[in-house]
Amino acid sequence: MVCTSVKEGSDCFFMSKKGCEFNGGSCHAIIEQCGDCQKIKEFPAGKYCTVFPEPEAKWRVRNCNMATHLKGTIKKETGKVNPLKASKRTAH
């Protein structure tokens, strides 16, 4: 259903005839870590993420998996080599 609160005009899973049913009754604004992520969209109520209703929750434990401004950093973190697979590769 189309949002009529903070992300006015956007199609949203949490919107119902009774209004926004997301935790707290509306989306939460972006946080500092969102930086210049391309998923940010400016609405009359402020800047919000177009993917997640609560950006803070996405950053609580680790980096947001949908962040577009951290591609280089994410690659480094996931670039770990599985020692078992590496030993098999050298055996061939």
Minimum separation from the CB atom of position 51 to ligand SF4 (A)? 5
C-alpha to C-alpha distance for 2 and 15, rounded to whole angstroms: 7
For residues 20 and 34, which CB has a smaller minimum distance to ligand SF4 in the complex? 34
In the complex with ligand SF4, the residue whose CB is nearer, 24 or 83, is 24
With respect to ligand SF4, which residue has the nearer C-beta, 71 or 92?
Answer: 71
CB of 29 vs ligand SF4, minimal distance in Å: 10
Instruction: Out of 10, 14, 66, 74, point to the residue binding ligand SF4 (CB under 6 A).
Output: 66
| Residue in the block written with tokens 């949908």 | 66
Number of H helices, E strands in the chain: 3, 4
Sign of the Cα pseudo-torsion (2, 6, 15, 50, in order): positive
CB atoms near residue 82 (< 10 Å): 9
| Residues of this chain, 26-65, that bind ligand SF4 according to CB under 6 A | 30, 34, 37, 39-40, 49, 51-52, 55, 58, 64
